[in-house]
Amino acid sequence: MPSAKTSSESPQAADPYRKLGAAKLFKIHELMVRARLLEERLIKMSKGGDGFFWIGGPGEEAFNVSLGLQVKKGRGVDHDFLHLHYRSSAIVLAMGAQPIDSLRQMRSVATDPYSKGRSFVNHYAIAEFNIVPVSPTIETQYSTAIGTGIAQARAKTDAVTIVNGGDAGTAEGDFHSCLVWANRPVLPLPILIIVVNNGWGISTKGETQHGERNISDWAKVFPGMPGKTINGNDVAESWGALEEALAYVRKNRKPYLLEARCSRLYGHSSSSGANRIPEADSIEILESAMTSRGIAAPSDFAKVWEREARALDEAHQQVKSEPFPEGDSAWQDVFADGLPPSYPVKGGS
Amino acid sequence: MPSAKTSSESPQAADPYRKLGAAKLFKIHELMVRARLLEERLIKMSKGGDGFFWIGGPGEEAFNVSLGLQVKKGRGVDHDFLHLHYRSSAIVLAMGAQPIDSLRQMRSVATDPYSKGRSFVNHYAIAEFNIVPVSPTIETQYSTAIGTGIAQARAKTDAVTIVNGGDAGTAEGDFHSCLVWANRPVLPLPILIIVVNNGWGISTKGETQHGERNISDWAKVFPGMPGKTINGNDVAESWGALEEALAYVRKNRKPYLLEARCSRLYGHSSSSGANRIPEADSIEILESAMTSRGIAAPSDFAKVWEREARALDEAHQQVKSEPFPEGDSAWQDVFADGLPPSYPVKGGS
Amino acid sequence: MANMAQAIRMALHYGEQHLGVTEIFGEDVGPPLGGVFTATQGLERSWNSPLDERGIIGAALGLAWAGGRPVAEIQFVDYIFNVIDMLKLAGNGYWSSAGRFKTPLVVMTPTGSGIHGSMYHSHSFDSVATKLHGMKVVCPSTAIDAYGLMISAIKSDDPVLFLKPKALLRAKGAELIPGEPADEKVLHEMIDAPLGDREKWKPRWPELTDYCVEIGKARISHPGSEATVVTHGRMAPICLEVAQALKAAGKGSVEVIDLRSLIPYDWDAIKTSVRKTGRVAFVNEETEITNFGEHLIRRLIDECFYELAARPRLLAGKATPGIALSPSVESFIQPQKTDVERVIGELLADPA
Amino acid sequence: MANMAQAIRMALHYGEQHLGVTEIFGEDVGPPLGGVFTATQGLERSWNSPLDERGIIGAALGLAWAGGRPVAEIQFVDYIFNVIDMLKLAGNGYWSSAGRFKTPLVVMTPTGSGIHGSMYHSHSFDSVATKLHGMKVVCPSTAIDAYGLMISAIKSDDPVLFLKPKALLRAKGAELIPGEPADEKVLHEMIDAPLGDREKWKPRWPELTDYCVEIGKARISHPGSEATVVTHGRMAPICLEVAQALKAAGKGSVEVIDLRSLIPYDWDAIKTSVRKTGRVAFVNEETEITNFGEHLIRRLIDECFYELAARPRLLAGKATPGIALSPSVESFIQPQKTDVERVIGELLADPA
Ligand SMILES: Cc1ncc(C[n+]2csc(CCOP(=O)(O)OP(=O)(O)O)c2C)c(N)n1
Ligand SMILES: Cc1ncc(C[n+]2csc(CCOP(=O)(O)OP(=O)(O)O)c2C)c(N)n1
Ligand SMILES: [Mg+2]
Ligand SMILES: [Mg+2]
């Protein structure tokens, strides 16, 4: 009988870290380290003149890797669509993207597969993964998410749309549009609406501008819409919350609002110095959780950090040897059917 | 002692209509009739070629007159600011505007004080009453309300900002902006946020597009923010709700969200025919409430309808005798300090 | 003959039947109304959206990225100005993604003046539209061109902004649309929704065919040899009338070029005609400061300065803060037939 | 000398002290940052807004209607495109209200390229800005002009869009601002916030004076007799350098007109200079399709066609969907000094 069952469940088994299991924890750890080292390398490049502006996601690894690993990855409406922003590197790496491609975008070399040297680093566009073009315009991804959400609401599939962005951006009307459209009675949308709350918009403290107790409280407007706020610096909590939220959206074909509280470990961007800030570090938290449970020894982690650093060194060497784009590459990709012969191309007379 | 006091209160005194008192009810009735007859005249003019497009507020008289009479009327931050839309005629008449000026705007004669024949009817701009220019762009008034709200939050005054608009428009981001800014922890704003819910956006039923049970549920996002939904076709209920809401905002200098359910008695506009629609009629409701209580006899009402109709006939005759604007009046009011001598004015070569 | 609204409706029907259009949406686009100008009446895939332009364009972008060919409407171009940023995303998505993401969507919206629309139903949009680089922009002036351009727009893998001249949407065409019944009453019976209750109404569609007007190709609506008029939209039929009248009166041979597409525009057609006539006027109804016609004049100066027999002209709207409801003021602000007559007259009379 | 960011800051300080400016706001405009380019550091009335451009412009409109003189910032002009509708309301409010409501507000925003800003920190806005009829538009290229134009903008009863060239905000002026200490280190000590903790920091402001640059008046930054260059913003100092070099090398006498104001623009200054030189190039960094310089060329063709010794030129940006981060691609798309040299060279060499 149930009571027996419950009591038979050992405290160990109830522990969310043990539930995840050693293999998965090591996998997650490796990806978090990869993401962290990548961002730190990008910062170095930005400061060292090997590229320009940096913006990225150090601090969000626990939540973002947990998300990336649970995405139904692929192309087309039968796979999840992702509408991301500029702090999403760990999501994309967890899905299988290669760090070298981010180095390419940072150095804006011709081989940058995401933008041909046109966009800032961490502005992804990966058709094979349904990762739609990351736009620098804050919050517009919450409006474009409506469209892939509609396509998936029409299709017979369990695939969903996932949108993420920051806390300050929720002041924009696009966040409102996403909530209203996702809850349309005639066609609710299967969208996991994520807000990563790091407490800041550049230099502006969230609590000075936002009267909501939790950003997830916006779900209260819609009867039955789930809204939840979690600690996004904790792998187990993030994994569990994402598992629950994704399961809900896949099954019910309705929206779910998930707020993850995360650290912003190097400040806003290179414009604000990109120096390490004393905030909770999701990787330290994971490592101590694993060691304290005897799942791993410090030496295991050392190997990972070292291996990932070496791989990054090699990738960086490779990228330095790659050519920059030609000026007139600007004329590629203007129109899908090519540039019309009489299109003005001189920049004036 | 209180219990005695309560028990001494007769059911009569508890009746909200009696609380309002005969004099005020007659005043309200007269203004509602004036507003209704004005809108019906404007519709006639639109259909009769004595003007073009019509849009207005027949059906909203109970709520709008109750609002107009409770406005702290005047100019500057020590008086209420109103950010209205195109169904607000009864508010403006209750504040003391003259029907003839609406006929002028309908016929777009030079004497139209609100827009010099430039805008559609019911697009007011009355500086002496703090009625800021009514914009045809749905929902932008919820963003401009933020500004007068800030000015009044800074000032030592009990004056407030009042914004109103329709239900479908709440899907726009400006509604979101108003909610977020009005609840900024560093400077909450004294704004009465009104939404008149008539169940329609032109031809689109609200319940097909909006998952909120009540529009006033948007207040739930902000701890302690009052939100209320009322029957805006009923004078007593409207008056009481507005009294309570205005008192709250004046005293607490914080926002209040009030949703009024009202009829749309002639459809959306002249584009949809502007024919009478069988929905609850706020004037009939008031008249029967007054007669059933013996406050008035049908003959009292007849006199009002007749008097107001006659006044409108005279006003209309007057307006027909007034000139249309000259074409080059288009060059007035472009810049506050006049048109620069070399500004291009030829419309080309 | 079909009017422009009916022509667009038939093209959209063809699109949902044969070209994979699965979503046609916007404010009041679906039943019962079928669009404020009836351009989406009776379509299978048309639906009403929330009152939210940003959501509408966002939805179109997402649908295009998801492999669809959405057709979204902004109810009036006057209300498009809260979502220019997302139109720019539609235009630059292919470029910013290094050619990885195509954006096959159509945004259609009524443009221009001439319906006593006052300040917010009279706007033109050519200037901003032609700066959404990566976006194609079309603006028909006849029903048949509207039909052919809509089919091309749907087929295009690029985003296309389809500008519908408000004043011409109810204007009847002079040519039958392939498949259109000869008798317009028959067409009316078949595809126009009845007044009153439409619950049970279903349209009967004619057998339509795949007729395309190539995006980027102008149409010479009136051949001539002494002067060229380059125009589009509401001004196109007016320029045509004036050219016909001048010819009939033996007062001049004016070639009228109806651009039909603004981006890309048919530069070869313009250049060829101006080389022939040596005289040209550009006529559109947007305000005269930073006007698309001024771009064409500048380019003409670059490439044909020494071949011009007279200075090129622009006829456009006056740069007032808005267009007034009062007919006397609207006609003062916006170019009218008399203005076209004056400008062409001066152009023909200008001593070489 | 003060750089442009410091000059704007000093003008805003003068505004809050003497001109009734009570609200200076926008994203990261208040403490601790004081603006992404430090243009609002240390001001008494500056504050941080939510991340919401529509709320920012809405707030400015309401504040102006309530009798204030707000100065609102859009953090980068690249992010202004979700609120064009409300900028139009600012421009048309006086007209639509029959002259009953003035709109004395200033919207300032960094514009243009040249800071490796990639697709969304490199935008120009002249074309849309000059179509917000009723709105005045200024764009200084020097610190002293920025100071004087900001004071005029604050005093204006019309809405003023104040475009701050991103690439010039840290460029030092050549002239002292009235009241500015002669030693720029002293100024730095006085008004620049320290790095790190700024909790207790207070600026010490110099005694500033009421120095105005009239809106609508251009400045001849380099007199000349053989050709005219009309420019503004980021391109202005580049054109000046080229003119100085040509003069030094005895290769030509080029008059450079720095417009400073786009609406209203100083037509008399342009016309007078072109009548003198007979040759003119219009130089700006926005894309070449429907470009404000094309309006000026069109008007020049209207009024001075037969006085031109050579065809007028436009030098502008290429009409790509965006501006790329890669320096080689950005400099291909955006006009650079070598392009200015080429165009002026051709202009001077063009046989009359
Ligand atoms: C529409 C728009 N406005 C302003 C900006 C400039 N900007 C870039 S990031 C940022 C702050 C975003 O804060 P938040 O949404 O909390 O995300 P975070 O950076 O904290 O992850 C701002 C204002 C922008 N990119 N887009
Ligand atoms: C931004 C914008 N989009 C679209 C329109 C066209 N339009 C005018 S009224 C209206 C419906 C408004 O419905 P609601 O907000 O419920 O107000 P109601 O008319 O019902 O009072 C629409 C779509 C507009 N005026 N402005
Ligand atoms: Mg944040
Ligand atoms: Mg409604």
Rounded CA gap, A146 and A190, in Å?
9
Question: Cβ–Cβ of B221/A218 closer than 8 Å?
Answer: yes
Mean pLDDT, residues D143-147 taken together: 98
In a domain, C167, yes or no: yes
pLDDT digits (tens, 9 = 90+) for D7-47: 999 999 999 999 999 999 999 999 999 999 999 999 999 99
C281 and C153 housed in the same domain: no
Is the residue at D208 inside a domain?
no
DSSP per residue over B124-141, as a string? --BGGGTBPPPPSSTTHH
Together in a domain, C102 and C52: yes
* Chain A nearest-CA residue for D336: A347
Q: How far is the CA of A198 from the centre of ligand 3 (A)?
A: 5
What distance in Å separates the CA atoms of residue C42 and residue C33, rounded to the nearest whole number?
A: 9
pLDDT in tens, chain A (349 residues): 344 444 455 666 689 999 999 999 999 999 999 999 999 999 999 999 999 999 999 999 999 999 999 999 999 999 999 999 999 999 999 999 999 999 999 999 999 999 999 999 999 999 999 999 999 999 999 999 999 999 999 999 999 999 999 999 999 999 999 999 999 999 999 999 999 999 999 999 999 999 999 999 999 999 999 999 999 999 999 999 999 999 999 999 999 999 999 999 999 999 999 999 999 999 999 999 999 999 999 999 999 999 999 999 999 999 999 999 999 999 999 999 999 999 999 999 9
CATH code assigned at A265: 3.40.50.970
Choose, out of A204, A275, A322, the residue to mutate when testing the contact with D (most D CBs < 10 Å).
A204
Alpha carbon distance B90, B65 (integer Å): 5
pTM of the model: 0.98
Residue among B173, B218, B221 minimizing CB distance to A173: B173
CB contact under 8 A, B171 and C322: no
Question: How far apart, in whole angstroms, are the C-alpha atoms of residue C124 and residue C105?
Answer: 21
Q: Quick one: pLDDT at residue C196? A: 82
Chain A residue with minimum CA distance to B186: A208
Q: Please check whether residue D211 lies inside any domain of the structure.
A: no
Q: Are residues D233 and D183 in the same domain?
A: no
- Report the run of H or E that residue A16 belongs to, with start and end: helix A16-20
C206 within some domain? no
Three-class secondary structure assignment of B86-127: CCCHHHHHHHCCCHHHHHHHHHCCCCCCCCCCCCCCCCCCEH
Which residues 6+ apart lie within 8 Å of B122 measured at CB? B42, B55, B56, B57, B86, B87, B88, B89, B102, B105, B134
Answer yes or no: is B94 within a domain. Answer: yes
pLDDT at residue A11, rounded to an integer: 64
Q: What is the CATH number of the domain that holds D288?
A: 3.40.50.920
**How far apart are the C-alpha atoms of A63 and A228, rounded to whole Å?**
14
Asked, for residue C199, whether it belongs to a domain, the answer is no
CATH number (domain holding residue D178)? 3.40.50.970
Residue A303 lies in a domain: yes
Q: How confident is the prediction for chain D on average, in pLDDT?
A: 97
**Chain C: closest CA distance from residue B264 (Å):** 17
Per-residue pLDDT, averaged over D294-310, amounts to 96
Q: Please check the confidence at residue B4 and state whether its pLDDT lies above 80.
A: no
Mutate to test the interface with B, among A142, A167, A180, A181 (most CBs of B within 10 A): A180
The shortest CB-CB distance from C119 to any of D92, D288, D297 is to D92
**Whole-angstrom Cα distance, residue A348 to residue D293?**
10
Task: Please check the confidence at residue C199 and state whether its pLDDT lies above 90.
Answer: no
By C-alpha distance, which of B56, B98, B100, B42 is closest to B321? B100
Nearest to D282 by CA among D224, D339, D225: D339
What is residue B2's predicted lDDT score, i.e. its pLDDT? 39
Ligand 2 atom at shortest distance from the alpha carbon of C27:
23
Q: Given this model, what pLDDT does residue A5 score?
A: 44
pLDDT of residue D196: 82
**Domain with C247 in it:** 219-349
Tens digits of residue pLDDT in B50-65: 999 999 999 999 999 9
Residues C127, C8 share a domain: yes
Whole-number Å distance, alpha carbon D162 to ligand 2 midpoint, is 32
In a domain, B195, yes or no: yes
Whether D156 and D248 map to the same domain: the answer is: no
**Minimum Cα–Cα distance from C95: chain A residue:** A333
Nearest residue, CB atoms, A176 vs list B175, B213, B225? B175
CB within 8 Å: B220 and A223: no
Q: How far is B328 from chain C (nearest CA, A)?
A: 7
Question: Please, which chains are in contact with A (at least 3 CB pairs closer than 8 A)?
Answer: B, C, D
Same domain, yes or no, for D34 and D141? Answer: yes
What is the number of structural domains in chain D?
A: 2
Q: What residues are neighbours of ligand 3 (ion), with CB under 5 Å?
A: A 166-168, 198, 200
pLDDT above 70 as % of chain C: 100
* pLDDT value of residue D107: 98
Which residues does ligand 1 sit against, CB inside 6 Å?
A 87, 136-138, 165-169, 198, 200-202, 268; D 27, 51, 75, 79
Q: Model confidence at B13, in pLDDT bands (50, 70, 90)?
A: low
Mutate to test the pocket of ligand 2, among B197, B202, B215, B259 (most ligand atoms within 8 A of CB): B202
A4 belongs to a structural domain: no
pLDDT at residue C195 in the model: 86
**Whether residue D271 sits in one domain with residue D162:** no
Residue indicated by tokens 């998300």: A67
Q: What's the total number of domains in chain A?
A: 1
- CB contact burial B189-198 (16+ within 10 A = b; e otherwise): bbbbbbbbbb
Does A64 fall in a domain?
yes
Interface touch D63/B151, C-beta < 8 Å: yes
The residue whose CA is least distant from atom 8 of ligand 1 is A138
Q: Which residues of C participate in catalysis according to the annotation? A: 121
Asked whether residue D52 is domain-assigned, the answer is yes
Whether residue C182 is predicted with pLDDT greater than 60 in this model: the reply is: yes
Task: Note whether residue C211 is domain-resident.
Answer: no
In this structure, the answer to whether residues C272 and C177 fall within a common structural domain is no
Q: Are residues C98 and C247 in the same domain?
A: no
Whether residue D184 is found in the same domain as residue D225: no
How close is the nearest chain D Cα to the Cα of A331, in Å? 7
Share of chain D above pLDDT 90, in %: 97
Record: contact D63-B123, CB cut-off 8 A: no
Nearest CB partner across the interface for A118, out of D78, D318, D322: D322
Beta-carbon-side half-sphere exposure of residue D9 (alpha carbons within 13 Å)? 31
Q: Is the peptide bond before D335 cis (omega within 30 degrees of 0)?
A: no
Q: Shortest Cα distance from A127 to chain C (angstroms)? A: 6
**The domain containing residue B160 runs over which residues?**
18-320
Contact between C95 and A333 using a beta-carbon 8 Å cutoff: yes
Q: Is the domain of C269 the same as that of C320?
A: yes
Mean pLDDT of chain C: 97
Give the residue, by CA position, lying nearest to ligand 1 atom 17: A166
Give the DSSP H or E segment for A161: strand A161-166
Return the ligand 1 atom nearest residue A55 CA. 19
pLDDT at B16: 96
- Which residues does ligand 2 sit against, CB inside 6 Å? B 87, 136-138, 165-169, 198, 200-202, 268; C 27, 51, 75, 79
Same domain, C102 and C159: yes
> Closest Cα partner for B125 from D96, D216, C228?
D96
C290: alpha, beta or left, given left = phi > 0 and alpha = psi -120 to 50? Answer: left
